[in-house]
Structure 1
Amino acid sequence: MEIYQLRTFVTVAQQGHLTQAAELLHLSQPAVTAQIKALEEEVGMALFERTTGGVMLTRTGQELLPRAQSILESAKDILNHARHLKGQLSGKALIGVSLTPEILKLGAWVARLTEKYPLLDLRLQHGVTGGILNLVRKKELDAGFYLGKNPYVNVNTVLLTELPFVIVMPKGWESRVDITVPKELGKLPWVGISQFSSLHKITAELWRELNISPKKVAECDHVNTILDMVCAGVGLALARADEAQVAADKGLVTIVPGICKLAELQFVYPADRVGDLILDVLLEELAAVWQLGPASPH
């Protein structure tokens, strides 16, 4: 019985699906199937049974899962302790970044990390927030910043703040409809939002709340581009309240009064990285910069 077999067993149990587990483990599905079969042959009992939607643990699998998880935790503790014994913290951390550095307080965070841990190889990768969350889920990123709600059980989140978003429209469009009546906003075109952008879900939630289904024009995946489209007269969109106010003060857009949507800005990381030394220092310095309390991640 090998550690990698137990890791595969636990991942399949958590995902309930061989293909999804293979994706997270960066293995082929046949390789995952072979590891599970080898483990079942060694214990002499079936660990999973197939269902229409994937696989589920047998009674034996349910009994063995907590022990397998405990063994993996012990193995991780041994590695962490060995790294601690070597002295100065070192290693690589690949972080997904979205929005602007000022919003994320990125400069202050990176400065603290590089000063305290000079051997830490910190790499920042910019992307769309939805893509960042997916890469964290697949463990292709060690952590990242995400705007919106996290639907994945194998990803932990730390709430940093809530960002207010408002509806903006091109200057002069306020005369086309009665903007004090929310449903009237559905008669105007809106800038389309890429499904990979967290604003896509936030905008969809807002449309449901307002009971509108407007025409979508073009499609964008970057917040700044979306606001530019509104300024250019393409259509309505959600924009961060601070950026919307700057554009409104310049006479470029009109802010629809009385409507504000809050979006959660979160730091996300794989749930099974809890206790990892590098992750611990990332979280520690993040908490200091954001002045976070000792609340547990969720």
Structure 2
Amino acid sequence: MEIYQLRTFVTVAQQGHLTQAAELLHLSQPAVTAQIKAIEEEVGMSLFERTAGGVVLTLAGQELLPRAQDILVSARQLLDHARSLKGPLTGKVQIGIALTPDVLRVGPWVAGLAERFPLLEVCLHQGVTGDVLNAVRKKELDAGFYLGKNPYVNVHTLLLTQLRLRIVMPKGWLARINAANPKELGRLPWVGISQFSSLSKIVSELWRELNIAPKKVSECDNLFTASELVQAGVGLALLREEDALRAAERGVVDLVPEIVKMAELQFVYPADRADDPILQTLVAGLQPVWGLNSNLVV
């Protein structure tokens, strides 16, 4: 039995779906099916049962899964140890960023890494938060910054901070409603957020909490565009508290009082690379920048 076959077995077990596993493994579905069949023939028993929604482990598969995971961990540790014998940390990492570099404290982080590890090249790619997480899940990026809750078991997260978000509306609109009644906010138009951004889920959570279902009159994929649309009189939007307060102080928007929405800002990376020396270095470099400790990694 080969390591790559065990990796396929574990990935299918985690995803519960052959197509999703194939996507993560960068293989065709027939190739994944063939590898699973080869493993089952070698062990002499079925490891998966097909269901309407995908596949589930048999009792034999459930018994073998933890051992397969242990073998993969040991193989990664062996490889990581071999890499550490080469000497100074070298290589290139692809990092996805969302929001703005100052919010993410990218400058101090990369500067610290460059000073300590001059042979490590950090490549930054601006993207939408949802796309960053998905690219990390597919291993198209080595790591990235993500706003919101991470739903994937094969992606590890380091919680950096809780961002405070506030509702803003075009100047003068606050007088149109009774701000003491949150349901009044549902009568006004809102600037929608693209479904490819995790901000969309955060806004939807807020609407459920306020028990409103407002009309979306426009859509964008970042907070800065949303701010411009609010100032232009398009509708309400959720902004980072610092940006909302500055806009309110300039007199270009009205700030809805008291309502605050919290969102998790996280650093995400593939779970099966947690022992990779480069990723450990990236995480360690974030901790002093954000004032964190290692037990925040999940």
TM-score, scaled relative to structure 1: 0.97
Report the equivalent of 1:185. 185
2:184 is matched by which residue type in structure 1?
E
Comparing 272-281 with 46-55, which one deviates more in the overlay? 46-55
Q: Give per-residue Cα distances to partners, 1:85-140, cap 9 Å, x unaligned.
A: 11111122111101111111100000011111111121111111111111111111
How far apart, CA to CA, are the structure 1 residues paired with 2:287 and 2:243?
Answer: 25
Unaligned runs of 5+ residues in structure 1 are none
What is the letter of the counterpart of residue 49 of structure 2?
A: E
Deviation, structure 1 residue 251: 0.9
Alignment identity in percent? 68
- Deviation of 1:296 after TM superposition, in Å, equals 4.1
Partner of 1:280: 280
Deviations 1:179-224 (A, max 9, x none): 2221111111101111112221111111111111111111100110
Q: Which moved more, 1:156-165 or 1:54-63?
A: 54-63
- Map 1:192-211 to 2 at 5 A: 192-211=192-211
Q: What's the secondary structure of 2:36's corresponding residue?
A: helix
> Which whole-Å CA distance do the structure 2 matches of 1:116 and 1:148 have between them?
31
Partner of 2:43: 43
1:90 match: 90
Find the counterpart in structure 1 of residue 100 from structure 2: 100
Partners of 2:192 and 2:50 lie apart in 1 by: 40
Deviations 1:221-257 (A, max 9, x none): 0110000000110000111110011111111001011
RMSD between aligned residues? 1.1
Hey, what does 1:224 align to over in structure 2? 224
Deviation readout 1:23-52 (Å, 9 max, x if unpaired): 110101000001111111122222111122
Question: SS of 2:19's equivalent?
Answer: helix
Question: Which deviates more, 204-213 or 22-31?
Answer: 204-213
Post-superposition offset of 1:59: 2.0
Match in the other structure for 1:78: 78
Q: CA deviation at 1:294?
A: 2.7
| Cα distance in 1 for residues equivalent to 2:112 and 2:50 | 49
**Whole-angstrom CA distance in 2 between matches of 1:206 and 1:291:** 28
Q: Which stretch shows the higher mean deviation, 229-238 or 113-122?
A: 113-122
Q: Who is 1:254 aligned against?
A: 254
Amino acid at match of 2:229: M
Q: Is the 8 A contact 2:167 2:256 kept in 1?
A: yes
One-letter amino acid matched to 1:129: T
Structure 1 equivalent of residue 144 of structure 2: 144
User: Secondary structure of 2:21's partner?
Assistant: helix
Going from structure 1 to structure 2, the CA distance change for 1:53 and 1:103 (only over 3 Å counts) comes to same
Aligned partner of 1:212 in structure 2 is 212
1:122 is paired with a residue whose SS is strand
SS at match of 1:205: helix
Aligned to 1:174: 174
2-structure distance, mates of 1:185, 1:88: 56
Aligned twin of 2:112:
112
Aligned mates of 1:65, 1:208 — CA distance in 2: 38
- Structure 1 window deviating more from structure 2 (175-184 vs 259-268): it is 175-184
Equivalent position of 1:130 in the other structure = 130
Q: Distance in 2 between matches of 1:151 and 1:63?
A: 25
Partners in 1 of 2:207 and 2:60 — Cα distance? 47
Task: Give the whole-Å Cα distance in 2 for the aligned partners of 1:34 and 1:73.
Answer: 24
Matched, 1:10 2:10: yes
Local SS of the residue matching 1:152: coil
Matches of 1:276 and 1:269, distance apart in 2: 11
Matches of 2:199 and 2:75 in 1, distance apart? 40
Moved beyond 6 Å, runs of 4+: none
CA 1:18/1:86 → structure 2, altered by over 3 Å: closer, same or farther? same
**What one-letter code is carried by the residue in structure 2 that aligns with 1:91?**
G
Report the secondary structure of 2:99's partner residue: coil
